[in-house]
Amino acid sequence: QVQLEESGPGLVKPSQTLSLTCTVSGASITSGGYYCSWIRQHPGKGLEWIGHIYYSGNTYYNPSLKSRAAISIDTSENQFSLRLNSVTAADTAVYYCARAPHYVSSGYTDAFDIWGQGTMVTVSS
């Protein structure tokens, strides 16, 4: 049974870099077959896709983040990470990692099927 779990600091100071890690258990990231994704939810608000990465290194980001986001994979730890720089209070949110199944033969990427439980990050001095 595949599980995802987010970890990282719950409090980040303005202008600093938010760093989160998602640990995948029950499957190997390098086996392929899905994109590793980050999604966030501002308090009491809707969902915003941040971006995702394939184990081969292909990455896609939401332009709304103005190139502040970077997603990477650590295959040795079976983890993937999010770094968001120059944070402000507007980046305060629950951050979720999730996987999006990807079918190489057709190039089709399905919607997120498995999510982590989410981690709250507050940006404040």
Partner 1 sequence: DIQMTQSPSALSASIGDRVTITCRASQAIRRDLAWYQQKLGKAPKRLISAASSLQSAVPSRFSGSGSGTEFTLTISSLQPEDFATYYCLQHNSYPYTFGQGTKLEI
List helix spans (H) across 1-125: none
Exposure string for 97-121, b = 16+ CB within 10 A, e = fewer: bbbbebeeeeeebeebebebebbeb
| Residue ranges in contact with partner 1 by CB under 8 A | 46-49, 60-64, 96, 98, 100, 109-113, 115-118
d(CA 95, CA 37) in angstroms, rounded, equals 10
CB closer to partner 1, 65 vs 85: 65
Least spacing, CB of residue 82 vs partner 1, in Å: 15
Least spacing, CB of residue 20 vs partner 1, in Å: 15
Least spacing, CB of residue 83 vs partner 1, in Å: 18
